Structure formats: C-alpha cells, structure tokens
Amino acid sequence: MCPWCYVGKRRFEAALGRFEHAGDVEVTWKAFELDQNASSHPEGTQVGPDDYAQRLSAKYGTGVERGREMVSSMTETAAAEGVELRFDRAVKANTVDAHQVIHLALERGGPELQGAVKERLLRAYFTEGEAVGDRAVLQRLAVEAGLDADEVAAVLAEGRYVDDVRSEEAEASALGITGVPFFVIDRKYGVSGAQSPDVLLGALQRAWSERTPQLVMTGAGTTSADGEACGPDGCAI
C-alpha cells in the first residue's frame, strides 16, 4: 500500500543492476502491514478522483488540496523511476491475504517467483486499480504471476500463512523497523526508505566487502619488480 515501496523496488533493482556480484544476491520479501485493521473494498468499488488525496489529508490532518499536492508530487517522482501511479484508481485494501500469497510464492518457486508475484500485486494496486483485498481478484492475479489457482484459494481459506506474516512483522519490530521500504542486507546493514540507487549500491558493496575481505597491497613483500619475493618459479636472488 506504500507507493515508496514501489519506487524503492525500482531503485534497488537499478542498484543491483550495477552491482558486480548481483548473481550472488538473493532477494526475499518480508511482510509489513501499515494498518492491520484496514478494511478491504470489493472489486467494482467506485473510486473518486480525490479519494486517495482525501485519505492522505485525513491521515496527516491537512486539507484536501494539500493531499492533492502530495499525490501529484509522488506521481511525478514515481514516473521518473518508470513507475505509473494511478491514485485515482486505488481501491483500499487490507493486505494480510496478499502477504500470504507472497509467502506461498516463495515456498513454491523461491525468490524468483516471489519477486514476480510482488511485482504483479504492486502494478495491480497502484497502476490498474485492482481490489487486491478481494480474494477472487487476488487469486486471479496470483495465477497470472505463476501460482496455482486451487492452492491459492486453499491458502486464503485456511489462513495458512497468517502466523508467518505476524512473525515477520514482529521480527521487523524487534529490528527497530517502523516504516517501509526498509532493506536489510545480510542481517547486518539496514537502509531505511526509498534511497537512491547510489546509496543502495554502496550498502551492497560494503556488505560484500565484509563478507569477502580483500587484501590491501603495499610495497613491502609484493612480487613487483621493486620487491624481492619467492613465487611458484622460485626466489629472486
């Protein structure tokens, strides 16, 4: 439900595309609900052009005009990252079921399928105006991303991953995470917010350097022309 998560995903992807060890990076998505008590509107809900602006103005105690300005600014920022935000279509939703589907995707197809499902749900909510809190809609979207329809239906009916969702939210709280997006690298570095690709790339590089430390070469003891040393072919005398 957070547009910065969509923007943050794009910026992280840009950083990863520049990271020389990208093939060794595994990305998994964890659950975080902005409002566990949010209600879901069903498919076909009519959304007014100022609905999202009104939600923002109510949340932050500002006028609707200020809400419109926030929507406009966010839309422009997202467009610069290649993300189309259509707040005029956004249908309010509780996300616990969506998080369950994302858990199922990880179990069935690993990080690659989970990433595909995550992307599909973001585009559905922010661009297409899909009611992602409606289970029939959620099932259709999950199938489009590569999951089995019957299993998705069973997972949602059983609440199979609700405990996992709550566990991850508790883990986030224990780590001091109070907002999203939030990137945790090797459970050692945390990056809060939709930071620039440069910042995210720097965090990846630092984590990698600590995982695979490199020697810092100095003049003494090297095999250069100026330093005597022994090598596979013998010793320089």
Mean pLDDT, residues 120-133 taken together: 97
Residue 136's CATH number: 3.40.30.10
Residue 237: predicted pLDDT: 65
Residue 163 lies in a domain: yes
Cα separation, 224 vs 227, in Å, equals 5
Where do the H-state alpha helices sit in the chain? 3-18, 51-60, 64-80, 96-126, 135-145, 149-158, 162-174, 197-211
Tell me the pLDDT band of 228, cut-offs 50, 70 and 90: confident
Domain count, the chain: 1
Mean pLDDT, residues 111-135 taken together: 97
What sign does the dihedral 140-144-148-151 (CA atoms) show? negative
Residue 74 lies in a domain: no
Residue 107 lies in a domain: yes
For the stretch 129-182, pLDDT in tens is 999 999 999 999 999 999 999 999 999 999 999 999 999 999 999 999 999 999
Residue 117 lies in a domain: yes
Mean pLDDT, residues 89-117 taken together: 97
Mean pLDDT, residues 99-123 taken together: 98
Cα separation, 193 vs 31, in Å, equals 16
DSSP, collapsed to helix, strand or coil, labels residue 22 as helix
Residue 236: predicted pLDDT: 66
Residue 212: predicted pLDDT: 77
- For residue 14 the two structure tokens come to 């840009």
Residue 227 lies in a domain: no
For the stretch 22-41, pLDDT in tens is 999 999 999 999 999 999 99
Cα separation, 126 vs 178, in Å, equals 22
User: For 49-58, 62-71, 224-233, which range has the lowest pLDDT when averaged over its residues?
Assistant: 224-233
Nearest to 41 by CA among 102, 89, 83: 89
Residue 24 lies in a domain: yes
Tell me the pLDDT band of 215, cut-offs 50, 70 and 90: low
pLDDT at 221 over 60: no
pTM score: 0.87
Residue 218: predicted pLDDT: 63
Task: Provide the residue range defining the domain that includes 173.
Answer: 3-47+89-211
* Strand partners for 184: 190
Tell me the pLDDT band of 55, cut-offs 50, 70 and 90: confident
Across the chain, mean pLDDT equals 92
Task: Note the Cα 141 to chain centre separation in Å.
Answer: 18
Residue 205 lies in a domain: yes
Tell me the pLDDT band of 96, cut-offs 50, 70 and 90: very high
Query: Do residues 95 and 133 touch, judged by C-beta distance below 8 A?
Result: yes
Residue 46: predicted pLDDT: 86
Residue 223 lies in a domain: no
